[in-house]
Structure 1
Amino acid sequence: MRYADGAAPVRTTLDEPVATVAGRLAPKFEALGIRTAGDLLRYYPRRYADPSRLTDIAGLVVDEKASVVAEVRSASGVIRSPSSGKLRVEAQVTDGTSVLHLAFFAQRTSMAKGFEHQLRPGRRGLFTGKVGWFKGRAQLANPEMVWFDDDDPDAALDKAARPLPVYPASAALDSAKIASTVEVVLGPLRTGDVPDPVPADVRAARELGDLVDALRRVHRPQDERDWRVARHRLRYEEAFVLQAELARRRARAAGQPAVARPRVPGGLLDAFDERLPFTLTAGQREVGDQLADELAQPVPMQRLLQGEVGSGKTVVALRAMLQVVDAGGQAALLAPTEVLAAQHARSLRALLGDLAEGGLLGGADVGTQVCLLTGSVTGAARRQALLDAASGAAGIVVGTHALLEKTVQFAELGLVVVDEQHRFGVEQRDALRAKAAAQPHLLAMTATPIPRTVAMTVFGDLETSVLSELPAGRAGITSFVVPADRPAWMARTWGRVREEVARGGRAYVVCPRITGDDSDGADLLAQEAATLADAGEAPRRPPRAVLEVADELRAHPDLAGLEVGVLHGRMAPEDKDRALADFASGTVPVLVSTTVVEVGVDVPDATVMVILDADLFGVSQLHQLRGRVGRGTAPGVCLLVSGARPGSPADERLQHVAGTLDGFELAAFDLEQRREGDVLGASQSGGSSSLRLLRVTRDGELIEQARADARAVVEGDPELAAHPELAAAIEQLLAGDREEFLDRA
């Protein structure tokens, strides 16, 4: 048998190890997550180079890998270093406007002469390597080269007319070697050799071609239409397999019995509605009716509630919890952090008033209790919380992961509300739901608006409710980008903070780190890479830190006399509570914090937020932070302090955030800027995403088609007994940690 390092096509089964076709190169393929011949076929080109078009060299990014179509302008002879004696050949390639330098290092004179021979002026080729910055100029060191000319003129013309696949490569394995190894598997393939998870009738209805033909076209296209047709076919397959699994999960959940929790007239919910000091929005009433109807059914509700920042999700969730309590059940609200759990408990008690004092002196005749259970609740308080949950005295139990402990029992758990649910794994959610005698109803909430296509792709087994209308009386928020290197603008920023506090407002100041030597803190974006045009700029200063900034503001003349507090994740729970209480009361009107205030914190008097190093945060994070101000009757202002260059991608993000308050628009924009692996929100086993070609922002119509087709197939064959190829594809989809990710949805 001949292998990829000098290989001829061989017939092989797709589940054989990649060593069958790659020989000694197998470990390098395995490092890319390619373990079998089948994995190799599914390792699609990242893009296609057009030999007839030169690459814009000026747009290359320093320290990123690039594939450049360019023409050799000049080349040196063999150069020997006088100090080390090492050999090299240097060359310049051009796109007609800009120049990129190449450097090739050789062990032997014959190798250096080979480079010199190849680098003849006028030759056009594809040069792939990491863009470096050496002696004030851009350079590729030892790039891989694929030439578009040939000794055979006909072969040269043919090669120059075909798109050239460019694969995601590594330093140890270049795109050309991947392509030649793919050919070893692809060459002998015949129709039917690759199991097709898309049923024949679905393929016919959607006019989708044969799978093997699609694989041939995606790896060795003859023209642009070939690879576009192939990608459409393969994208549909990815969407169909994922939607089939979500449809199965939805069907299994619907088949499990649950205790119906219908609305009880004259109960807690009616009493709560009568005392509400504000009018529910039309959206809150509509979603509330949806939840009420589903809770009244003997099948478990499975619903995702999302909405704009400040749209009133908490009130909607509370009304659902009260309906369950009225019907003899309990509700558990699971939050990812102690700060958020404590905030939820305070908010629910404040909304309920004496209705949260059931069985207590001074409590309402119709009432229940809200108890809080987190890791920091200890001693007598913990024992009382455990007793209230187990006895049923607490109709609503709020907590963190502490709710999952074996010692926590419920009298009659009927509804599980999971806030920021994407932060919880399958074992954690199942551990809580297992505390119910029958399958409890589930309400998942997210404070981050999710584009509809993402909801279909990631949360396809849940019904989705959306709150887009803000409660009446909100004064709104205005946002501005503040250049950090403009002293006058920064002076005005702190002056504005002083003015807002003088009017009775509160001010948040958010920093990405706790201390100056922190490497953690906020989940920051990678520092922005520079293009060749600005590769020589000086590096930016370190990100701002809470403790340093707090000291600076205490000494700042514009804030003289104002108390400045701090809040971050390393503080003890009682210190966090005290910091928030002092901030809310106005005792400490300026709070310097990390992103611990991103969700759940509700201080109606907060009117200004200053986000330092805003260009290091993501779009959704900025939108959530901004949503902490303007929650009362006074307008809010958000100042995004940035060190990003004008016109850079980071600056574009900030300008987009400042330009709209529409969270769904921002979520769609954010998604368009992110890589495909980020769509799933979790690193995938084997180092590759299960969505290789599908893009949820672009492929919404295709996803809807696949969703409808997959549901029809599952309805007719819930166990997929007649569709073994589809069942096998789903099993592969769920390999490694992918099943856990889907369960988080």
Structure 2
Amino acid sequence: MVRLTPVSATVTRWRTEAYARLHARLSAVVGDKTAKAFGKLGIATVGDLLQHVPRRYMAGTELSDLSGLREGEEIAVLAEVAGTKEHSMPGGRGRLEAWITDGRGRLGLAFFGRAPLIKYWQSQLAKGSRGIFAGKVGVFRDEPQLSHPDFVMLDEYGKYAGGSKANEVLAQVTQTSDLIGIYPATAKLRTWNIAESANLALDYLGEVTDPLPETVRERAGVLGLTEAYRAVHQPRDRAEAARGLERLKFDEAFAIGLAMARRKAIARSHPAVPRTRRPGGILDAFDATLPFALTAGQQLVSEQIFADLEQQHPMQRLLQGEVGSGKTVVAVRAMLDVVDAGGQAAFLAPTEVLATQHFQTITRMLGELAAGGTLDAAEHATQVVLITGSMPAARRREALLAAAGGEAGIVIGTHALLNDQVQFADLGLVVVDEQHRFGVEQRAALGAKAESRPHLLVMTATPIPRTVAMTSFGDLETSVLREIPAGRAEVSTVVVDVIKNQSWVPRAWERIVEEVAAGRQAYVVCSRISSADDSSAGDDGFAESVEEGEEPREPAVAVEDLYAELSTGPLSRLRTAMLHGRMPPEEKDEVMRRLAAGELDVLVSTTVIEVGVDVPNASMMVICDADRFGISQLHQLRGRIGRGAHPGVCLLMSSSPTESDATTRLHEVAATRDGFRLAEADLRLRREGDVLGAEQSGRRSSLRLLRVLRDQELISRAREMADDCLVADPELADPGLADIVDKIEAPEWLERA
């Protein structure tokens, strides 16, 4: 067994002796006031600042592109003065208008002050001179404008030549580098203030011991750490800046790889109860009742899981697959295998609706095999129980007793399963559904409920690009289900611009009537519940919000409003019902029962139907305000139709501008049903999410420099080297390696692990 020493003790020694300056508080270098401003950027130490690299570089002779400026955006641009005009105002004050240009477009500047100051600014802004101008983009007379921008003027060589007194700091910045770095900045922390602070940090740092072993640096072909920092913040040319950036990106990739390799080693170091497959038990009985043949993919993945379950260390496996690829059947077979071996399985779902649907689906699939403990129970039968936060107290108490006593072989629930009240007799397997709704911390919480570490199967119906899987789930083995079971129908997807094609809205309702007349069922999906809500988010909170930089839009259509409109108007002759997450559980269950039984024609719903709903007769879906949703969510929703023999139609209704990112998303979804292609597109548009913590979707990302699509090769190389390092040094005796892991892993997570 691998013995893993505490990282923190080794790291404390390392930081004290050789590495302390990188971890010094930034206030020690730039002062408390400036350090506080850096806090807005998430920068607290000298090392954080040196990792904050320019987003681009400018030479003093290269003008910025002024096209595409957005109102409200903080910018820093290099441009040429096109002219100025002075305006007198009462009381000895004045206004100076100026215009700067990139040779094609132009940007207005506005200054207000007393006459001497106006004259000074005008003298600085001579026509034909060049400078860097920074401020927030506003609009004046329908033209973009900077009001009272900070600026510095440059000479013909791109060096400081004067400007507003507060910005003379750029004199030093332009003297230390032939390129001017343009940093991600704030209104109170301009790009040249950051550059000056970086220079101070470099002076303070001096030469530090490189945390990467020399063998790794040579194999990777990267610069030393101090040299890389200087190349990024004080480059002589763009090639040098690129070499410095490559080292910092490698550090990030290597750190993630090492952290993931260590997580896997930690998991394998714990003992687990082997769950050996038992012939003639409940699993074989279940297989005999299946009304269909398993796909080749389902059989292969099941065998991988069974082999993992027989090991003396916990299984750590990610099962990802296309919408409708049959992951639930694979999960049920794994759980039954554990039940045959005398253990229990917990199935964790992200919402009550989904947990209830899984409970009903699994109970239905098992039939009499789920009636354990009753007089007429079949041989080998077990109990399947549901535990959610809103269950009636009596039912919840019965379910808790069945789980604690071992009578329930399968326990299905939401986050309520993480509650201290939930105990198991012998928890052998944890299945986590829709992993993107959970984080690393929640993966670990259920494991604490067993004496020996339970085996873990993580599932996602959102296909994950290979490099994301490597960075986000590198501690897990991966199985993929690409094959769709036979009998699934085609689904046509159409993007409907409701601004340009208003007649399509009533036509959509007519189309639903036609589908129902043909004996089919339909869904209408909205992104929020009530028009009284302040936000556009649905009841699960995962509806997509307005993109940064997009114009404010009309509030999204609400389920309650649209249901009232449709059920008394165009769909009044149909059997229509409403579903959302705030309804009482009994009402939600009854609506889903009636839909599955064919007693309803149309369901007007939020995204609670996104996953797990299986109504083969449903053939049409209208998604209102589809531009409010992300690619993966649209793909999931669309997967609710075409699950039987009837072709499906999905209408993506949108009022988003033609050239917007939201419309691009919609056309990506309409172009393909390949979830892996859509996952790549989603990643390009929305970035990676926090690959190491609980925030595993959206724009927030723990990756500062890496982009997992762009840097796939680098990530793969770094991961391979990280694996080799941990094999050679499993206890992380090398203090530099220990520090790398310590910085990227939260101590709380390591304690749980």
**Amino acid of the residue matched to residue 21 of structure 1?**
V
Query: What is the CA–CA distance in structure 2 between the aligned matches of 1:161 and 1:180, rounded to whole Å?
Result: 11
SS in 2 for 1:25: helix
Q: CA separation of 1:379/1:173 partners in 2, compared to 1, >3 Å: closer, same or farther?
A: closer
8 Å contact kept, 2:631–2:669: yes
1:322 corresponds to: 336
1:21 corresponds to: 29
Q: How much has 1:289 moved relative to structure 2?
A: 0.8
**Amino acid of the residue matched to residue 144 of structure 2?**
A
1:96 corresponds to: 103
The superposition leaves residues 504-563 of structure 1 with CA deviations (integer Å, 9 ceiling, x where unpaired) of 2221111111111312333344435669xxx8xxx6422111111111112333x23013
1:490 corresponds to: 505
8 Å contact kept, 2:471–2:691: no
8 Å contact kept, 1:335–1:420: yes
SS in 2 for 1:514: coil
Query: What is the CA–CA distance in structure 2 between the aligned matches of 1:50 and 1:596, rounded to whole Å?
Result: 53
The superposition leaves residues 135-182 of structure 1 with CA deviations (integer Å, 9 ceiling, x where unpaired) of 2211122223243326999999x9899432111111111001110111
Is 1:300 matched with 2:314? Answer: yes
SS in 2 for 1:632: coil
Is 1:441 matched with 2:455? Answer: yes
Is 1:648 matched with 2:648? Answer: no
Query: What is the CA–CA distance in structure 2 between the aligned matches of 1:472 and 1:689, rounded to whole Å?
Result: 39
Is 1:117 matched with 2:123? Answer: yes
Q: How much has 1:571 moved relative to structure 2?
A: 1.0
Is 1:392 matched with 2:398? Answer: no
* TM value normalised by structure 1: 0.91
Q: CA separation of 1:608/1:440 partners in 2, compared to 1, >3 Å: closer, same or farther?
A: same
Q: CA separation of 1:744/1:272 partners in 2, compared to 1, >3 Å: closer, same or farther?
A: farther
Query: What is the CA–CA distance in structure 2 between the aligned matches of 1:154 and 1:575, rounded to whole Å?
Result: 70
8 Å contact kept, 1:422–1:744: no
2:737 corresponds to: 726
Query: What is the CA–CA distance in structure 2 between the aligned matches of 1:587 and 1:231, rounded to whole Å?
Result: 61
Is 1:589 matched with 2:613? Answer: no
Query: What is the CA–CA distance in structure 1 between the aligned matches of 2:568 and 2:71, rounded to whole Å?
Result: 40
The superposition leaves residues 306-362 of structure 1 with CA deviations (integer Å, 9 ceiling, x where unpaired) of 111111110111111111111111111011211111111111111111111233244
Query: What is the CA–CA distance in structure 2 between the aligned matches of 1:717 and 1:596, rounded to whole Å?
Result: 47
**Amino acid of the residue matched to residue 204 of structure 1?**
E
Q: How much has 1:567 moved relative to structure 2?
A: 1.1
8 Å contact kept, 2:524–2:605: yes
**Amino acid of the residue matched to residue 32 of structure 1?**
L
Q: CA separation of 1:678/1:650 partners in 2, compared to 1, >3 Å: closer, same or farther?
A: farther
Query: What is the CA–CA distance in structure 1 between the aligned matches of 2:96 and 2:329, rounded to whole Å?
Result: 70
Q: How much has 1:582 moved relative to structure 2?
A: 2.2
8 Å contact kept, 2:109–2:146: yes
1:620 corresponds to: 632
2:6 corresponds to: none
1:510 corresponds to: 525
Q: CA separation of 1:683/1:177 partners in 2, compared to 1, >3 Å: closer, same or farther?
A: farther
Q: CA separation of 1:87/1:281 partners in 2, compared to 1, >3 Å: closer, same or farther?
A: farther
SS in 2 for 1:266: coil
Is 1:251 matched with 2:261? Answer: no
Is 1:561 matched with 2:577? Answer: no
Equivalent residue runs for 1:8-407 within 5 Å = 13-23=21-31, 24-77=33-86, 79-82=87-90, 87-106=94-113, 108-149=114-155, 162-187=178-203, 189-190=205-206, 193-407=207-421
The superposition leaves residues 349-376 of structure 1 with CA deviations (integer Å, 9 ceiling, x where unpaired) of 1111111123324432222121111122
Query: What is the CA–CA distance in structure 2 between the aligned matches of 1:480 and 1:51, rounded to whole Å?
Result: 49
Q: CA separation of 1:308/1:592 partners in 2, compared to 1, >3 Å: closer, same or farther?
A: same
**Amino acid of the residue matched to residue 729 of structure 1?**
I
Query: What is the CA–CA distance in structure 1 between the aligned matches of 2:717 and 2:406, rounded to whole Å?
Result: 46
The superposition leaves residues 399-434 of structure 1 with CA deviations (integer Å, 9 ceiling, x where unpaired) of 112222333222211101111234345554444222
Q: How much has 1:683 moved relative to structure 2?
A: 6.3
The superposition leaves residues 99-130 of structure 1 with CA deviations (integer Å, 9 ceiling, x where unpaired) of 21112334x44443332222111122332322
SS in 2 for 1:442: strand
Query: What is the CA–CA distance in structure 2 between the aligned matches of 1:588 and 1:128, rounded to whole Å?
Result: 59
% identical aligned pairs: 54
Query: What is the CA–CA distance in structure 1 between the aligned matches of 2:84 and 2:677, rounded to whole Å?
Result: 50
Q: CA separation of 1:666/1:152 partners in 2, compared to 1, >3 Å: closer, same or farther?
A: closer
Query: What is the CA–CA distance in structure 1 between the aligned matches of 2:177 and 2:269, rounded to whole Å?
Result: 56
SS in 2 for 1:358: coil
Query: What is the CA–CA distance in structure 2 between the aligned matches of 1:447 and 1:253, rounded to whole Å?
Result: 24
SS in 2 for 1:92: strand
**Amino acid of the residue matched to residue 604 of structure 1?**
P
* TM value normalised by structure 2: 0.90
Is 1:606 matched with 2:618? Answer: yes
5+ long unaligned stretches in structure 1: 1-10
Equivalent residue runs for 1:576-725 within 5 Å = 576-675=588-687, 690-721=702-733, 723-725=734-736
2:562 corresponds to: 549
**Amino acid of the residue matched to residue 293 of structure 1?**
A
- Size of the aligned set, in residue pairs, is 716
Query: What is the CA–CA distance in structure 2 between the aligned matches of 1:66 and 1:487, rounded to whole Å?
Result: 38
Q: CA separation of 1:524/1:375 partners in 2, compared to 1, >3 Å: closer, same or farther?
A: closer
**Amino acid of the residue matched to residue 496 of structure 1?**
R
Structure 1, 239-248 or 42-51: larger mean CA deviation: 42-51
The superposition leaves residues 671-720 of structure 1 with CA deviations (integer Å, 9 ceiling, x where unpaired) of 11124656667669xx9954211111111111111111111111121221
2:168 corresponds to: none
The Cα RMSD (Å) is 2.7
The superposition leaves residues 49-90 of structure 1 with CA deviations (integer Å, 9 ceiling, x where unpaired) of 35444333232222222333322111122x3444x9764322
Q: CA separation of 1:503/1:86 partners in 2, compared to 1, >3 Å: closer, same or farther?
A: farther
1:473 corresponds to: 487
Query: What is the CA–CA distance in structure 2 between the aligned matches of 1:296 and 1:495, rounded to whole Å?
Result: 55
Q: CA separation of 1:362/1:605 partners in 2, compared to 1, >3 Å: closer, same or farther?
A: farther
**Amino acid of the residue matched to residue 112 of structure 1?**
I
Q: How much has 1:210 moved relative to structure 2?
A: 1.1
8 Å contact kept, 2:345–2:411: yes
Query: What is the CA–CA distance in structure 1 between the aligned matches of 2:687 and 2:261, rounded to whole Å?
Result: 26
8 Å contact kept, 1:22–1:181: yes
SS in 2 for 1:298: coil
SS in 2 for 1:500: helix
**Amino acid of the residue matched to residue 169 of structure 1?**
A
8 Å contact kept, 2:384–2:409: yes
Q: CA separation of 1:256/1:566 partners in 2, compared to 1, >3 Å: closer, same or farther?
A: same
Structure 1, 471-480 or 17-26: larger mean CA deviation: 17-26
8 Å contact kept, 2:21–2:205: no
Structure 1, 646-655 or 419-428: larger mean CA deviation: 419-428
Structure 1, 43-52 or 467-476: larger mean CA deviation: 43-52
SS in 2 for 1:277: coil
Query: What is the CA–CA distance in structure 2 between the aligned matches of 1:387 and 1:680, rounded to whole Å?
Result: 35
SS in 2 for 1:14: helix
Q: CA separation of 1:743/1:653 partners in 2, compared to 1, >3 Å: closer, same or farther?
A: farther
Structure 1, 687-696 or 379-388: larger mean CA deviation: 687-696
**Amino acid of the residue matched to residue 419 of structure 1?**
D
Structure 1, 97-106 or 467-476: larger mean CA deviation: 97-106
